Amino acid sequence: MSQIERLSRKMDNMRVAEYVEMISNPRRIIFMNFVAGLARGLGMGIGFTVLAGIVIYLLRSWVNLPYIGKIIADLLNIIDGYR
Protein backbone atom coordinates (compact mmCIF):
# COMPACT_ATOMS: atom_id res chain seq x y z
CA MET A 1 0.00 0.00 0.00
CA SER A 2 1.45 3.33 -0.95
CA GLN A 3 2.01 6.16 1.44
CA ILE A 4 -0.64 8.32 -0.22
CA GLU A 5 -3.29 5.64 0.24
CA ARG A 6 -2.43 5.27 3.93
CA LEU A 7 -2.56 9.02 4.41
CA SER A 8 -5.90 9.18 2.60
CA ARG A 9 -7.30 6.42 4.79
CA LYS A 10 -6.09 8.16 7.96
CA MET A 11 -7.67 11.44 6.84
CA ASP A 12 -10.96 9.68 6.21
CA ASN A 13 -10.79 8.19 9.68
CA MET A 14 -10.17 11.59 11.23
CA ARG A 15 -13.03 13.15 9.26
CA VAL A 16 -10.83 16.03 8.22
CA ALA A 17 -12.97 16.66 5.15
CA GLU A 18 -16.09 17.21 7.26
CA TYR A 19 -14.17 19.52 9.59
CA VAL A 20 -12.81 21.59 6.69
CA GLU A 21 -16.28 21.78 5.15
CA MET A 22 -17.78 22.98 8.41
CA ILE A 23 -15.11 25.63 8.90
CA SER A 24 -15.55 26.90 5.35
CA ASN A 25 -19.31 27.35 5.89
CA PRO A 26 -19.95 29.90 8.69
CA ARG A 27 -23.73 29.47 8.47
CA ARG A 28 -23.38 25.80 9.32
CA ILE A 29 -21.17 26.60 12.31
CA ILE A 30 -23.70 29.14 13.58
CA PHE A 31 -26.57 26.71 13.09
CA MET A 32 -24.72 23.85 14.82
CA ASN A 33 -23.81 26.09 17.77
CA PHE A 34 -27.40 27.34 17.98
CA VAL A 35 -28.81 23.80 18.08
CA ALA A 36 -26.18 22.75 20.64
CA GLY A 37 -27.08 25.75 22.80
CA LEU A 38 -30.78 24.91 22.63
CA ALA A 39 -30.06 21.32 23.64
CA ARG A 40 -27.89 22.43 26.57
CA GLY A 41 -30.49 24.95 27.73
CA LEU A 42 -33.30 22.42 27.54
CA GLY A 43 -31.21 19.85 29.37
CA MET A 44 -30.34 22.31 32.12
CA GLY A 45 -33.98 23.33 32.47
CA ILE A 46 -35.19 19.76 32.77
CA GLY A 47 -32.33 18.85 35.11
CA PHE A 48 -32.99 21.81 37.39
CA THR A 49 -36.71 21.00 37.50
CA VAL A 50 -36.05 17.40 38.48
CA LEU A 51 -33.45 18.42 41.06
CA ALA A 52 -35.74 21.09 42.56
CA GLY A 53 -38.58 18.56 42.72
CA ILE A 54 -36.41 16.09 44.59
CA VAL A 55 -35.20 18.78 47.01
CA ILE A 56 -38.76 19.98 47.69
CA TYR A 57 -39.94 16.39 48.18
CA LEU A 58 -37.17 15.76 50.70
CA LEU A 59 -37.79 19.07 52.47
CA ARG A 60 -41.47 18.24 52.89
CA SER A 61 -40.58 15.23 54.98
CA TRP A 62 -37.82 16.94 57.01
CA VAL A 63 -38.95 20.55 57.42
CA ASN A 64 -42.22 22.07 58.51
CA LEU A 65 -43.25 23.84 55.30
CA PRO A 66 -45.90 26.09 56.88
CA TYR A 67 -42.99 27.94 58.47
CA ILE A 68 -41.53 28.58 55.01
CA GLY A 69 -44.98 29.68 53.85
CA LYS A 70 -45.13 32.17 56.73
CA ILE A 71 -41.77 33.64 55.70
CA ILE A 72 -42.96 34.01 52.10
CA ALA A 73 -46.21 35.64 53.30
CA ASP A 74 -44.20 38.10 55.42
CA LEU A 75 -42.03 38.96 52.43
CA LEU A 76 -45.12 39.54 50.29
CA ASN A 77 -46.55 41.83 52.98
CA ILE A 78 -43.32 43.83 53.05
CA ILE A 79 -43.38 44.14 49.25
CA ASP A 80 -47.05 45.23 49.31
CA GLY A 81 -46.14 47.87 51.91
CA TYR A 82 -43.77 49.54 49.49
CA ARG A 83 -46.36 49.77 46.69
Tens digits of per-residue pLDDT, 36-63?
A: 999 999 999 999 999 999 988 887 777 6
Model pTM score: 0.51
In degrees and rounded to multiples of 5, residue 15 shows phi and psi of 55, 40
Percent of the chain having pLDDT more than 90?
Answer: 28
Provide the number of structural domains found in the chain.
Answer: 1
Tens digits of per-residue pLDDT, 11-21?
A: 777 777 777 87
Cβ neighbourhood burial of 41 (10 Å; 0-12, 13-18, 19+)? exposed
Domain of residue 52: give its range. Answer: 3-81
